[in-house]
Amino acid sequence: MKVLSFISFLLVFANVYSQVGIGTTSPNASSTLHLEDTTKGLLINRVALGNVTNGITPVNMPATGLLVYNTNATVTGGQGIGFYFWNGSQWQKLITNNDNNDWSLTGNTGTNPTNNFIGTTDNRDFVVRTNNTEKLRVESGGDVGIGTNNPSHTLEVQGDILFNGDFVNQEMIGVHSGTIQSIPYTNLVMTPITGTTNSITIVDGNGVNNSAVFISAFARVFGGSLNGSNSSIGGYFMVLQRDTNPAFPAPTILTYTSGICYIETPNGGVSAALGFGGGGHISYIDSALAPGTYYYRLAFYPNGVGITSGTYDVYQRDVNLIQIKR
């Protein structure tokens, strides 16, 4: 009976003064209920929510804004125990710092790269904007576009690129030899030039039509050991070969250059012979390469006129490979 009388008193007091104060005789004018106590708090109703979309049980037809404390750590659709309010269609948790999964504008701590990331979890592109204009897009398939919303390469940039510092390409390999190799004068015989075999591995299988190898090769040839008849020339071809087998069982001829290193001309009743230093330089781009390892070398192909004996002597030679990507 005393409890009912006290409740009736509060209702009458509230109707008259619009505010109710508990522990205070001067409730704040902006409040309907003002609680004041330095050693106690307000205990909100504790309920076990089963599903955040359930507006029937355990609370039947909750009013929008109704606040409860959920004690069910496995509530379906929710984020464990804590304060929830009914937003008109479901229970929504009041987020605390421990619950907040949002990225902070001032940086984040305690992140785990296995679980924490910026991006999407569905089959949708990830877009970065500035001034509400798209500047970068990571497509769901992985291609990245800067200045374009439809990249067709792993990285596609529409606009200028400035590199300050070293630009590291895929790979750069060179071989060199100075050991003299004497090659018989016989025409139409392809002889590999020793010390020129070089290999490079193309590992990128995405956009293979844009993988290429730049080859720069050189060899110096001396014809002083050749002998010829009247009116003879010690000519040759320098050939660039490629194979996928280091033994070159079936090499592909990519390109070649030519040169001479011996001349013999009539000089009265005899002839005058001159053997001199020649050489050959090759620059070539081997493009549209699929992933794999490729071997390159130089080969020597005599093509003399009137040469009767002797050798073509190969001195310094180099083969340099650079993998390039468009």
Is the confidence at residue 318, as pLDDT, over 60? yes
One domain, residues 137 and 271: no
* Choice among 10-14, 155-159, 290-294 with the minimum mean pLDDT: 10-14
Q: How many domains does the chain have?
A: 3
Residue 164, pLDDT above cutoff 90: no
Assigned domain for 100 exists: no
> Is 245 domain-assigned?
yes
Together in a domain, 207 and 320? yes
- Which pLDDT belongs to residue 303? 96
Residue whose tokens read 């009736």 = 8
Whole-number average pLDDT of the chain? 88
Q: Which of 3-7, 104-108, 157-161 has the highest mean pLDDT?
A: 157-161
Q: Which residues of 18-57 are buried (b: 16+ CB within 10 A; e: fewer)?
A: ebbbeeeeebeeeeeebeeeeeeeeeeeebebbebebeee
Same domain (yes/no): 175, 288:
yes
Looking at the structure, do residues 154 and 32 belong to the same domain, yes or no? no
Which comes out higher in pLDDT, residue 165 or 84? 84
* Contact (Cβ atoms closer than 8 angstroms) between residue 232 and residue 305: yes
- The pLDDT of residue 100 is 64
**Domain enclosing residue 145, as ranges:** 123-168
**222 and 320: one domain?**
yes
Phi and psi at 13, nearest 5°, equal -65, -40
* Nearest CA among 148, 119, 121, 114 for reference residue 134: 148
Q: Are residues 185 and 314 in the same domain?
A: yes
Residue 99 has a pLDDT of 63
Same domain? For 210 and 302 the reply is yes
CA atoms within 13 A on the CB side of 311: 9
Flag whether 1 is in a domain: no
Rounded percentage of the chain residues whose pLDDT exceeds 90: 65
- Among the three residues 168, 184, 205, which one is the final residue of a domain in this structure? 168
Q: How much is the pLDDT for 270?
A: 65
Distance CA 321, CA 251 (A): 17
Q: 163 and 44 in one domain?
A: no
φ, ψ (nearest 5 deg) of residue 119? 160, -160
Over the stretch 115-138, which tens digit does the pLDDT of each residue have?
888 999 899 999 999 999 999 999
Own/partner pairs, 177-181, CB within 8 angstroms, 24+ separation? 177/316, 177/317, 178/315, 178/316, 180/313, 180/314, 180/315, 181/313, 181/314
Give yes or no for a contact between 234 and 226, defined as CB atoms under 8 angstroms apart. Answer: yes
Same domain, 137 and 89: no
- Tens digit of each residue's pLDDT (9 = 90 or more) over 39-86: 999 999 999 999 999 999 999 999 999 999 999 999 999 989 999 999
Residue 176 has pLDDT above 70, yes or no: yes
